[in-house]
Homo-oligomer: A and B are copies of this chain.
Amino acid sequence: MTGAGTDKTRPMVSGGPAIILVRPQLAVNIGMCARAMANFGLDDLRLVSPREGWPRTDERRETAYAAAAGAVYLLESAKVYETLEDAVADLGFVWATTARKRGQGKRVLPPAIAMPETAAGISAGEKHGILFGPERTGLDNDEVALADAILTFPVNPAYASLNLAQAVLLTGYEYFRASQGDALPFANLERAPQPADRGMLIAFFDYLEDQLEARGFFRPIGKKPLMQRNLRNMFHRMQLTHQDVRTLWGAVTRLVEGPRHTVQTRKRLGPKQTPKKVRDVEPDVTPE
């Protein structure tokens, strides 16, 4: 969405389960997995017997680094193991991801249920890890047997193929949600700081309704209370800010009065008075 890379000015989330790529085939996919991990603050990347070797200095490593975008720090710190047994030796709980039935009698959970378990375990000091198999074949049955439980993804049954980095992404996303909540990068900042107070809104409604009344809008007259209530509710649903009301009031004033006052008139009144104040003094001015 915005340019890639680590933003050192913002809080870094870290920790989480180990992401264990078992016999990954393509270096580019390792890079994409690193990027997906960084998005959700996971920082323990383990590689078991990567087919193209690791680390290396040829163009495949370049490809991995390019695919990782700003997450090369994860490639630099990735641990490489010859066997899966070595890679999971320090872990207390292991998930195996698989897209098909294995008949091993283990629990099978989606990430939205599995990752809250892992977040709770990790916050209690446990070490958890998640196995992801090779791109084409997935984990073999002996590898799945090393796990405590199975993680699988709710997908369209007719199109169940998730690539490696997408599986890591969904897992990281649910771990992040479980450990951080739906903490959004800017949600609390987005709402304008000055919702219009009710007094200002009501003054605007009064003005608008007076103008409408004078122009015969409320007909039949017996319907006026209902029409008025509907109109007010429409505006309330807009959750107007102070500035929104100024803008609307100005728009209605222009509709009512026609072309704007001369520059002299505007200067005399000044640009920053609120509609309420202005109206008390001189009801037909344009709020800005």
Contact = CB atoms under 8 A, between A and B. Distances in A.
Contacts of A250: none
Contact of A185 (B157, B176, B192): B157
B244 A105 contact: yes
7 contacts: A1-B99, A39-B161, A104-B190, A109-B187, A112-B177, A112-B182, A154-B173
A91 interface: no
Contact of A110 (B39, B99, B102, B184): B184
A100 B186 contact: yes
A239 interface: yes
SS of A interface (majority): loop
Nearest to A101: B186
Integer count of this chain's copies in the complex: 2
A185 to B, nearest CB: 5
Contacts of A10: 157-158, 160
Contacts of A177: 112, 154
A40 B70 contact: no
A137 to B, nearest CB: 8
Contacts of A162: 1, 39
A159 B185 CA distance: 10
Contact of A159 (B6, B100, B173, B181): B6
B39 A1 contact: no
Given A1-B167, A4-B161, A153-B184, 17 more contacts: A1-B98, A1-B160, A7-B159, A7-B160, A12-B159, A41-B158, A41-B159, A99-B185, A100-B185, A100-B186, A103-B190, A103-B192, A105-B244, A108-B187, A154-B180, A154-B181, A160-B185
Interface in A7-47: 7-8, 10-13, 35-36, 38-41
A39 B257 CA distance: 57
| Size class of the contact patch on chain A | 35 or more
Given A170-B173, A173-B170, A190-B102, A182 B154 contact: yes
A130 to B, nearest CB: 13
Contacts of A182: 110, 112-113, 154
Interface string A139-158: 00000000000101111111
Given A13-B156, A40-B156, A1 B108 contact: no
